[in-house]
Structure 1
C-alpha cells in the first residue's frame, strides 16, 4: 500500500483527490510542441510541480509501477499525471507518444526523449542556430529571448553554453544601431545576461524616444 493511504501521517504521500483538483493549466501555462522552443519551460514547470506536490517518485523510475498497480491511490495519481501530460502537449506529440498501458514514468520519459535523443545531431543543429542568431529586425526582447531559449535547449542535451560565450554572442550579433551600446556592454562590471538585457532594453527605449522626437 502506498504512503498515501494514511493522510493523517505527516510523512504520507499526496492525496489523490487533492492532486485531481489541480488546474494543470495554471501550474504549467505552456503547450509542449516540437515546432517551437517550449520544451525547457514545460519541463521546468512540471519539475517544480513534482517537487511541490511530492510526485517525483511517479516519474523518476525509483518505484516499480507494476508493484504499485495494486494500490488504487497510486494508480489514481499516476493516471492524473498522464492526463496532465496529454493536456499540455500538442496533438502531434500526443499521437506520437500515446500507447495503452503506459505509466506516468514511461510517458514522461518518452516526451523528454523526444527532445533530448539524437544528442549529437541536435547539438550540431542547435549550436549552429545559436551562433547564427542575429538581432536583425527583432526587438531586444525577441532577440534575447530566442538566444536564451537556444542556450537552454543546448544545456538540456548536455552541451551548455558558458556565460562568456552567451554574452559575447549576444553582443556581437546586435543590430548595427546598437553599436555604441555593444561597446558599453564590454565595460560593464560583473557582466551577466540579465544585466545586458536590462541595459539594452533601456537603450532601445532611449533610441525610440530620440527617433520619435526627430520625426516631430
Structure 2
C-alpha cells in the first residue's frame, strides 16, 4: 500500500491531508474499492459476500498504515470497517471546515509578498486556495490572479519582479 500511498498523514499538516486523500481517491477507484469507504453500500448487507470482504482488508489496513501514530490513536476502533475508518480519519481534517475556511479566506485576502521571494509567495497563495477548495470554497483563477498581483511587493511605484541571473 505504501507504493500507492507514498504519504503519511499527519495531524499537524493540512497540506498533507489533501495529497493523502487524492492518493486514496485514486487507489479506491483503481481497485474498485469506493463502495467500501463511501457509505453507498450497507456493510451489514455485504457480510456474506466473500469477495467484498476479501477486498475490504486492503482498504482497511491501507487506511491505518498511512496515518501517523497520533491519528491512528484518535480514530482506531477494533472490528470497524473501512467506511468507519475513512470517515474518522477524514473527519479529523474536514469537521472544522467552516472555521478553516474563514481563517484561510482571511489569510488569502490579506497576504502580501513582504520579504518572501516570488515562489514562496505564490506557493503560499496556492496552498491557501487549495485549503479553501477542500473546505468547499472554490477560488476562481481570475480571483487568484488578482489577489496575487495585489499582494506583490511594490518598488518605486511599480511591481517588483525578481529575476534570476543568466549563466
Q: TM-score range by the shorter chain?
A: 0.7 to 0.9
1:56 pairs, out of 24, 30, 34, with 34
2:6 pairs, out of 17, 26, 29, with 29
SS at the partner of 1:27? coil
1:179 pairs, out of 154, 159, 166, with 159
Tell me which residue corresponds to 2:68.
90
Tell me which residue corresponds to 1:209.
165
Give me the whole-angstrom Cα distance separating, in 1, the residues matched to 2:137 and 2:70. 27
Tell me which residue corresponds to 1:3.
none
2:54 pairs, out of 61, 76, 86, with 76
SS at the partner of 2:45? helix
Unaligned runs of 5+ in 1: 1-23, 182-203
2:82 pairs, out of 104, 120, 133, with 104
- Cα pair distance change 1:52/1:32, threshold 3 Å: same
- Segments ≥4 residues shifted beyond 6 Å: none
- Cα pair distance change 1:171/1:84, threshold 3 Å: same
Give me the whole-angstrom Cα distance separating, in 2, the residues matched to 1:69 and 1:165. 49
Tell me which residue corresponds to 2:44.
66
Give me the whole-angstrom Cα distance separating, in 2, the residues matched to 1:75 and 1:111. 21
- Cα pair distance change 1:133/1:90, threshold 3 Å: farther
Unaligned runs of 5+ in 2: none
- What TM-score, normalized by structure 1, do the two folds share? 0.67
1:150 pairs, out of 118, 128, 131, with 128
Q: Does the alignment pair 1:122 with 2:100?
A: yes
- Cα pair distance change 1:68/1:44, threshold 3 Å: same
Q: Looking at secondary structure, tell me which structure has more helix per residue.
A: 1
**Number of residue equivalences:** 164
Give me the whole-angstrom Cα distance separating, in 2, the residues matched to 1:82 and 1:130. 36
Give me the whole-angstrom Cα distance separating, in 2, the residues matched to 1:79 and 1:164. 44
- What TM-score, normalized by structure 2, do the two folds share? 0.84
- Cα pair distance change 1:77/1:134, threshold 3 Å: farther
Tell me which residue corresponds to 1:39.
17
> Cα deviation per residue 1:159-195 (whole Å; 9 max; x = unaligned)?
11222221112222234469254xxxxxxxxxxxxxx
